[in-house]
């Protein structure tokens, strides 16, 4: 990986996850700058990771090759306007992880010819186990694209998307996805308690089962359907449970839920640009 100077604007949950992941992967701390409104947060980041910290966004980006927008979508415009002049002058690679802020809007704010990558990470990024999808606009060179990908890898696994509209589906899948799994795990846990298990045992077995299933799915060459079939024997307990889920049309419910999430993502993007 080529080491470039990175400025991270907004050192909250995602900003710190990026900083922590980069430092853990051996990225030189003295090439990382972070800016935030909280002096306390900046002091903590400086002491913990030995990175440069500043309260002034312009100062953070003034010597940066890569600028990462990790602020809330609602303040994206104000932050962009604040650092626009430096961006015009320095022309860094820009990576935005702000949910729902589309590249056309960012180009309207910062110039049509900027090199821009829009990414959608998810919450497990805070332990380096995120799933991030990104889209690079046509002005981004191959080297810049590789650089963006290697930086985003600090958050976990990364996939590239050929078109930006897929980011709404990504938001519905991996962006919101951790909540679906937490919801499902809580439902299983509560059902196990109702069957007589203690809450501690139900909690641990639920989480380890989810982790084991996810790891097996990741490491195995078999499809999800094949893996499921390998747990189900004819007339057995798993089949009895899966039959109930299918009778209740759980797949249709998930499809409806994800459609609702994607529609909401599209609407939120429109609202943010008004």
Ligand X SMILES: NC(=O)c1ccc[n+]([C@@H]2O[C@H](COP(=O)([O-])OP(=O)(O)OC[C@H]3O[C@@H](n4cnc5c(N)ncnc54)[C@H](OP(=O)(O)O)[C@@H]3O)[C@@H](O)[C@H]2O)c1
Catalog residues that contact ligand X under the rule CB under 6 A: 9-15, 35-38, 41, 57, 70-73, 75, 79, 97-99, 120-123, 175
Report the nearest approach of ligand X to the CB of residue 60 (Å).
8
Q: Which of residues 141 and 263 has its CB atom nearest to ligand X in the complex?
A: 263
Q: Which of residues 232 and 268 has its CB atom nearest to ligand X in the complex?
A: 268
Report the nearest approach of ligand X to the CB of residue 11 (Å).
5
Evaluate the CA torsion angle 160, 166, 168, 172 in order and state its sign. Answer: negative
Report the nearest approach of ligand X to the CB of residue 93 (Å).
18
Angle at CA of residue 15, ends 167 and 212, nearest 5°: 65
Q: Which of residues 65 and 82 has its CB atom nearest to ligand X in the complex?
A: 82
How many whole angstroms separate alpha carbon 25 and alpha carbon 60? 22
Q: Which of residues 22 and 120 has its CB atom nearest to ligand X in the complex?
A: 120
Q: Count of CB atoms within 10 A of residue 216's CB?
A: 13
Residue nearest ligand X, CB atom distance: 12
CA distances from 73 to 16, 28, 98, 269 (A): 17, 28, 5, 9
Nearest to 66, CA basis, from 150, 161, 128, 175: 150
Q: Which of residues 120 and 140 has its CB atom nearest to ligand X in the complex?
A: 120
Which residue do the tokens 């390998």 mark?
230
121: left (phi > 0), else alpha (psi -120 to 50), else beta? beta
The token duo for 71 is 């602020």
Report the nearest approach of ligand X to the CB of residue 209 (Å).
24
Report the nearest approach of ligand X to the CB of residue 260 (Å).
18
Q: Which of residues 14 and 172 has its CB atom nearest to ligand X in the complex?
A: 14
Report the nearest approach of ligand X to the CB of residue 38 (Å).
5
């Amino acid at each position: 990986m080529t080491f470039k100077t990175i400025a991270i604007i907004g050192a909250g949950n995602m900003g710190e996850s990026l900083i922590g992941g980069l430092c853990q992967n051996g990225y030189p701390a003295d090439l990382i700058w972070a800016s935030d409104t909280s002096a306390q947060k900046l002091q903590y980041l400086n002491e913990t990771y030995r990175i440069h910290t500043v309260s002034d966004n312009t100062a953070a980006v003034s010597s940066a090759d890569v600028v990462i927008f990790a602020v809330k979508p609602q303040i994206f415009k104000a932050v962009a306007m604040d650092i626009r002049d430096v961006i015009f002058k320095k022309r860094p690679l820009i990576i935005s992880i702000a949910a729902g802020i589309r590249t056309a809007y960012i180009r309207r704010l910062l110039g049509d010819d900027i090199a821009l990558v829009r990414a959608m990470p998810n919450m497990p990024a805070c332990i380096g186990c995120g799933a991030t999808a990104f889209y690079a606009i046509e002005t981004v060179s191959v080297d810049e694209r590789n650089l963006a990908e290697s930086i985003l890898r600090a958050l976990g696994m990364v996939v590239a998307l050929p078109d930006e509209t897929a980011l709404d589906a990504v938001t519905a899948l991996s962006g919101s996805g951790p909540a679906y799994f937490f919801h499902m795990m809580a439902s299983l846990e509560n059902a196990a308690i109702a069957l007589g298990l203690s809450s501690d045992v139900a909690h641990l077995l639920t989480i380890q089962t989810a982790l084991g299933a996810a790891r097996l799915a990741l490491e195995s060459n078999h499809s999800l359907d094949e893996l499921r079939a390998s747990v189900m024997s004819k007339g057995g307990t798993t089949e009895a449970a899966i039959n109930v889920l299918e009778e209740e049309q759980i797949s249709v419910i998930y499809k409806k839920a994800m459609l609702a999430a994607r529609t909401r993502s599209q609407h939120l993007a429109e609202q943010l640009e008004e």
